[in-house]
């Protein structure tokens, strides 16, 4: 592969959406190409910058925006309507007739509400997680508008707010957020990044349990491969070996099965002979069969069961 081909795959690679073969090709090229490694680093930095970017309007800008809106509404004034413009109104059912002055008040109220909702005070998260800055502006949806007496208006909105936290990977609060993100069913890219961060903390029983869960249950092969990276130091642990044995016999991704074999044979455990022999009867991938055969040979075991 040339550099152009590899760089087109960078976005998919960062979100764990490449196939095992494609990811292997990318990694081989990156090992040999310093320019592409630098380009990948820039791509990661750009994504981080876009994720962390935030903007809060100044008080002066808010004031000028409101003044401009008032001037525009005043200059527009009432427009002269032609008789045929009123025809559609004859066939329209109106539940809440709204006079023009109330419409103006409602528009100003909506504008002010949008600006003020962006001002969210920083809040602490636990005892350790520090707030990095103001949250992104809240996402609001107007559900109901009703005119009231004295040129007032009542507005009901649904609102979703974001908060930004920062802290070290050793902070319990940060780890809990990452553990939650690692199981988010709707965003494989988020799971890949979260597991990639957690795998360096597999000495924690809670993190190791999350990695084992990801290896067994995550639908994205990129997430499973990164979880396996975090379990390398625990290939001799009984619970880890039990999970890996199940994954070896059931996972549909050949790259995952290959990496599981590499982890399981690190201990040269005789109990693995039967598992590998069983896999040889069901395995259709040539490369995985070759790895099984080589592992059995290293353990002085036969490919066939007797």
Residues in the chain: 306
Q: With bands split at pLDDT 50, 70 and 90, how would you rate the model's confidence at 55?
A: low
Residue that wins the pLDDT comparison between 58 and 72 = 72
- In whole angstroms, give the CA distance from residue 262 to residue 254: 12
Which tokens hold the place of 139?
Answer: 């996402």
Using the predicted structure, report yes or no on whether residue 224 has a pLDDT greater than 50.
Answer: yes
The percent of residues above 90 in pLDDT, for the chain, comes to 5
Per-residue pLDDT tens digits for 77-136: 655 555 555 555 554 444 445 455 455 555 566 655 655 554 443 443 344 444 344 344
Distance CA 141, CA 288 (A): 52
- Tokens coding 105: 């008040």
How many CA atoms are closer than 13 Å to the CA of 258, on its beta-carbon side? 15
The pLDDT score that the predictor gives to residue 217 is 92
Which residue is it, tokens 């044995």?
245
Confidence category of residue 297, pLDDT binned at 50, 70, 90: confident
**Distance between CA atoms of 2 and 32, rounded to whole angstroms?**
11
Which is more confident, 197 or 55? 197
Torsion angles phi and psi, residue 127, rounded to 5: -95, -20
- The predicted model scores a pTM of 0.49
**pLDDT tens-digit profile of 225-258?**
999 999 988 888 889 888 988 888 888 888 888 8
Structure tokens at 209: 């349990």
Indicate the average pLDDT of the chain: 75
Q: Each residue of 172-190: pLDDT tens digit?
A: 888 888 888 888 888 888 8
HEC string of the chain?
A: CCHHHHHHCHHHHHCCCCCHHHHHHHHHHHHHCHHHHHHHHHHHHHHHHHHHCCCCCCHHHHHHHHHHHHHHHHHHCCCCCCHHHHCHHHHCCCCCCCCHHHHHHHHHHHHHHHHHHCCCCCCCECCCEEECCCCCCCEEEEEEEEECCCCCEEEEEEEECCCCEECCCCCHHHHHHHHHHCCCCCCHHHHHHHHHHHHHHCCCHHHHHHHHHHHHHCCCHHHHHHHHHHCHHHCCCHHHHHHHHHHHHHCCCHHHHHHHHHHHHHHCCCHHHHHHHHHHHHCCCHHHHHHHHHHHHHCCCCCCCC
């Amino acid at each position: 592969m040339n550099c152009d081909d590899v760089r087109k795959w960078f976005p998919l690679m960062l979100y764990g959406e490449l196939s095992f073969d494609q990811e292997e090709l990318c990694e081989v090229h990156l090992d040999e190409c310093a320019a592409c490694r630098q380009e990948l680093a820039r791509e990661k930095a750009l994504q981080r910058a876009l994720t962390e970017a935030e903007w809060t309007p100044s008080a002066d800008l808010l004031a000028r925006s409101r003044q401009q809106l008032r001037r525009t509404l005043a200059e527009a004034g009432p427009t002269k309507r032609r008789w045929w413009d009123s025809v559609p109104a004859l066939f329209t059912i109106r539940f809440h007739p709204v006079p023009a002055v109330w419409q103006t008040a409602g528009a100003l109220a909506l504008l002010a509400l949008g600006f003020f909702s962006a001002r969210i005070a920083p809040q602490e998260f636990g005892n350790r997680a520090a707030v990095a800055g103001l949250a992104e502006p809240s996402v609001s949806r107007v559900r109901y508008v009703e005119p009231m007496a004295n040129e007032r208006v009542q507005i009901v909105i649904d609102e979703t707010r974001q908060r930004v936290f920062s802290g070290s990977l050793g902070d319990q609060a940060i780890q809990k957020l990452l553990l939650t993100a690692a199981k988010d069913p709707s965003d494989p890219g988020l799971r890949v990044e979260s597991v990639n961060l957690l795998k360096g903390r597999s000495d924690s029983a809670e993190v190791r349990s999350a990695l084992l869960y990801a290896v067994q249950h995550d639908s994205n092969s990129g997430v499973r491969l990164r979880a396996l990276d975090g379990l390398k130091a625990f290939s001799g642990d009984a619970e880890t070996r039990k999970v890996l044995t199940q994954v070896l016999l059931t996972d549909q991704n050949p790259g995952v099965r290959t990496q599981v074999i590499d982890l399981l044979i690190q201990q040269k455990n005789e109990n693995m002979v039967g598992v590998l022999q069983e896999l040889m009867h069901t395995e259709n991938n040539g490369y995985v069969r070759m790895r099984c055969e080589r592992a059995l040979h290293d353990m002085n075991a036969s490919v066939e069961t007797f």
